[in-house]
Amino acid sequence: MDDLLVASQFTYDLDEVLSQYSTRSEISKQIGEALATHYDTRIAKVLDIASREASVVTGEPGGFEVSIGAGNQLNAQKIVDGFFEAASVLDERSAPQEGRSAVLSPRQYHSLVSSVDTNILNRDLGNSQGDLNSGKGLVSIAGIRIYKSNNLPFMAAYNSAVTGENNDYADANATCCGLIFHREAAGVVEAIAPSIETTSGDFHVQYQGDLIVGKLACGVGSLRTSVAGSLQAQ
């Protein structure tokens, strides 16, 4: 379990009067987004690390990496080929079909959607995928649900530990360009779920304003590493 994570902002009464509109809802929203970014980033790092970890269960394979070739992190066809290879590995390791997911960077996702010439998004054979106008034209490949996120450890190493982190999230890998996994690959333990608190009473009288505080206490770790995979541009 990591230490309590806190994001806060003081709102001064006079500032709110002069601005003539309430900023508290927007501040609360941004505090929540900051906590969510921290939450997602830690999970993504753990999943990438798990794709290279050995299994704690004797006789069970560890995580797996799918190489799509150096410099191919934005190559739509190579990414699709990587999806089918990862799906084959998950099948061989008896990973349930339900719960398979992939996380790509936004640029990778849009590259897949726009590459209709490679039959990735075929209007005749798979029109249930969506449409180009909405930008949501790709839902899954090889039965793996696709998500996009800016919190993916994309082509960068994260070696620096942060004060208060009691788990090892240092990720020295600088070639990760996608995560493909089953939901059994990692777990999150929450002692305090993401929440927002606002001061009042004596604090308000003394400081003529309120402190808006968001808090979260959680820990992230790998579980079944055999179903944790990643795409590698190498």
Per-residue pLDDT tens over the stretch 21-76: 778 889 999 999 999 999 999 999 999 999 999 998 888 999 999 999 999 999 99
What's 183's DSSP letter?
G
- Name which of 117, 118, 127, 99 is nearest 227 in CA terms: 99
pLDDT at 154 exceeding the cut of 60: yes
Q: What is the pLDDT of residue 123?
A: 43
Q: What is the pLDDT of residue 120?
A: 59
What's 56's DSSP letter?
S
Q: What is the pLDDT of residue 124?
A: 42
Q: What is the pLDDT of residue 106?
A: 93
pLDDT at 150 exceeding the cut of 90: yes
Q: How confident is residue 133, by pLDDT bands cut at 50, 70 and 90?
A: low
More confident residue, 163 or 8: 8
Q: How confident is residue 112, by pLDDT bands cut at 50, 70 and 90?
A: confident
Contact 142, 87 (CB under 8 A): yes
Residues near 163 by beta carbon (within 8 Å), at least 6 away in sequence: none
**Mean pLDDT of all residues in 189-202:** 91
Residues near 44 by beta carbon (within 8 Å), at least 6 away in sequence: 103, 149, 151, 152, 153, 179
Long-range CB contacts (< 8 A, 24+ apart) of 82-89?
A: 82/178, 82/180, 82/231, 83/141, 83/142, 83/144, 83/180, 84/141, 84/142, 86/142, 86/144, 86/180, 86/229, 86/231, 87/142, 87/143, 87/144, 89/64, 89/229
Written in H, E and C, the secondary structure of 9-54 is EEEEHHHHHHHCCCCHHHHHHHHHHHHHHHHHHHHHHHHHHHCCCC
Q: What is the pLDDT of residue 2?
A: 92
